[in-house]
Amino acid sequence: MRKHAITLVICSVLLLQGVPARAQDTVMQVSTIDALVAGVYDGSLTCAGLLQYGDVGIGTFDRLEGEMVVLDGTVYQVKGDGTVHRPGPDMKTPFAAVCRFVADETITLHKGMDYKEVEQKIDASISGTNLFYAIKIMGTFSYMKTRSVPAQSKPYPPLAEVAKSQSIFEMHNIAGTIVGFRCPPYVQGINVPGYHLHFISDDRTQGGHVLDFVFDQGDCHIDRCHRFLMVLPTEEEAFQKVDLSRDRSRELQQIEK
Amino acid sequence: MRKHAITLVICSVLLLQGVPARAQDTVMQVSTIDALVAGVYDGSLTCAGLLQYGDVGIGTFDRLEGEMVVLDGTVYQVKGDGTVHRPGPDMKTPFAAVCRFVADETITLHKGMDYKEVEQKIDASISGTNLFYAIKIMGTFSYMKTRSVPAQSKPYPPLAEVAKSQSIFEMHNIAGTIVGFRCPPYVQGINVPGYHLHFISDDRTQGGHVLDFVFDQGDCHIDRCHRFLMVLPTEEEAFQKVDLSRDRSRELQQIEK
């Protein structure tokens, strides 16, 4: 009977906590990129809640306080001053995307390749651009350029305004991991079409949203995902009221790179 | 021990079969509307598989063979000749959307209201247009205008071509149920922004994609959904190869109404 009770409890917890079955090959995201671009920065899901859907991913935090890197089930926060923190389980995110990373493919990158060349190499290796691809590049980089942003105060300025005061970080000969996604073109308005990558150093002291890099050596793993789960905020008035019918793709392009 | 075993089996089946926890308030869809508009008509998920995600919904069938209505967990197929069938569990769909319908709200409609006026009434009742809303209107309709399409042969023509040879059905003083969704504007390319409704008569002999109607009396229920799960085809070469970077919204608007 005790075994029965334990099994029942485990199964109930799995089901009630919202752990999706077949979570593998599922990119799960919180809110939409256009809501973030428009200035909806109040978090709607906790980091603990986010980790139920995946162990690898990217995003940002409540009040847009820095860049999120999720790696091996740990959430890292690269703040606007460049310092790296491990936020508590109750810290919320207004926008993030994660997956339970299981590599389908390993792609050979060559020393000296930059961001653009790595994109082209991955594009040439995958079977098409209509699915989602999670990306993990572990290795050393002769150059890494990232950015981060500080926490914002209400009334929140739109993301394009915030980007003007972003901090840029440059690293040389650094060991670490790039994580992120290649999203299909039709996610426009929902997520970032194409590549969106974040970085965290092996010693967990540096990182951010990747602007550019030069690959030195390491492994590039790809997880092809054919399921996409979007969890929208229900309580946040700002999300319910924001105009998501406008085309904000130009604004997004200016911000992303 | 027997109870333990039974519980374990039930939980395992639930998890392995891909029944998503908290399936409630989740709109699940197969493929993307733009893939359908472009002529990707080969089914990728069986009706049995689809019903694991919901009991109410709309869609079409393998080779675009008619309009799908899912009501109370049963799949109905309104063929191009207007006849209504109950396809077997192995029949596949290239595009469909379902949810596990639990009404959050009941909206009072008035005798004589047409499609446009019902849209306006629902829009005025919901808290915003950034979430998904499943819709179920059970009652009698003094007028109902629907359409359906026949199965297509390869090479598949695009949906706009097929629409030219669609069949139109008109019904008067008919009892039945309208089901469908109101999707947020940012799903453009993925699903139909705004309203997309199908109809099935109470005697299950008539139905189709709703083009227009005049409401007589009945109940209008709304299920607000904040989770959206998209399951993309993995095996179908046509889906992997189709150009989903083009804006097909005009083509879609021409087809939808």
DSSP secondary structure, B52-114, as one string: TS-SEEEEE-GGG-SEEEEETTEEEEE-TTS-EE---TT-EESSEEEE----SEEE---TT-B
B138 and B217 Cβ atoms separated by less than 8 Å: no
Question: What per-residue confidence (pLDDT) applies to A250?
Answer: 87
* Least CB–CB distance from B186: residue in A11, A32, A227: A32
Question: What per-residue confidence (pLDDT) applies to A253?
Answer: 84
Cross-chain residue pair B18–A16, CB shorter than 8 Å: no
Using DSSP's 3-state secondary structure scheme, residue B227 falls into: strand
Partners of A45 in beta bridges? A93
Cα gap B210→B132, rounded to integer Å: 19
Cross-chain residue pair A127–B240, CB shorter than 8 Å: yes
Chain B: closest CA distance from residue A256 (Å): 19
* Least CB–CB distance from B15: residue in A14, A17, A18: A14
Regions of chain A with pLDDT less than 50: 1, 8-21
Whole-prediction pTM:
0.91
Cross-chain residue pair A11–B16, CB shorter than 8 Å: no
Question: What per-residue confidence (pLDDT) applies to B253?
Answer: 84
B33 touches chain A (CB under 8 A): no
Cα gap B213→B77, rounded to integer Å: 20
A9 touches chain B (CB under 8 A): no
Chain A: closest CA distance from residue B4 (Å): 4
Using an 8 Å CB-CB cutoff, list chain A residues near B230: 227-229
Phi-psi region of B34 (alpha: psi -120 to 50; beta: other; left: phi over 0): alpha
What is the domain class of A22-256 according to CATH?
A: alpha beta
Using an 8 Å CB-CB cutoff, list chain A residues near B129: 244-245
Smallest CA-to-CA distance from B211 within B163, B168, B152, B247 is with B168
Cα gap A60→A76, rounded to integer Å: 10
Interface test with chain A among B8, B132, B230, B242, by most A beta carbons within 10 Å: B230
Per-residue model confidence as pLDDT tens digits over A96-111:
999 999 999 999 999 9
Question: What per-residue confidence (pLDDT) applies to A44?
Answer: 97
Question: What per-residue confidence (pLDDT) applies to A103?
Answer: 96
Tokens of A241: 């009221």
pLDDT higher than 60, residue B197: yes
Cross-chain residue pair A18–B21, CB shorter than 8 Å: yes
The helix-helix angle for B2-16 and A2-16 (nearest 10°) equals: 20
How large is the average pLDDT for residues B108-117? 98
Tokens of B103: 């009404």
Contacts of B167 (CB under 8 A, 6+ apart): B80, B81, B82, B147, B148, B149, B150
Partners of B58 in beta bridges? B69, B97
Counting beta carbons within 10 angstroms of the beta carbon of residue A58, is it exposed (0 to 12), middle (13 to 18) or buried (19 or more)? buried
Say yes or no: domain B20-256 is CATH 3.30.70.20. Answer: no
Question: What per-residue confidence (pLDDT) applies to A1?
Answer: 45
Better pLDDT: B198 or B6: B198
- For B156-211, where are the alpha helices, taking DSSP H only? 159-163
* Least CB–CB distance from B4: residue in A4, A184, A190: A4
Question: What per-residue confidence (pLDDT) applies to A257?
Answer: 65
Using an 8 Å CB-CB cutoff, list chain B residues near A34: 186
* Least CB–CB distance from B229: residue in A34, A227, A234: A227
The 3-state secondary structure of chain A, one letter per residue? CHHHHHHHHHHHHHHHCCCCCCCCCEEEEECCHHHHHCCCCCCCEEHHHHHCCCCEEEEECHHHCCEEEEECCEEEEECCCCCEECCCCCCEECCEEEECCCCCEEECCCCCCEHHHHHHHHHHHCCCCCCEEEEEEEEEEEEEEEEECCCCCCCCCCHHHHHCCCEEEEEEEEEEEEEEEEECHHHECCECEEEEEEEEECCCCCEEEEEEEEEEEEEEEEEEECEEEEECCCCCHHHHHCCCCCCCHHHHHHHHC
Nearest CA in chain B to A249: B186
Instruction: Give residue B254's pLDDT band: very low, low, confident or very high (50, 70, 90).
Output: confident
Q: Please state, rounded to an integer, the average pLDDT across all residues of chain B.
A: 92
Least confident of B89-98, B177-186, B242-251: B242-251
Question: What per-residue confidence (pLDDT) applies to B257?
Answer: 65
For chain A, the domains span: 22-256
ipTM associated with this complex: 0.91
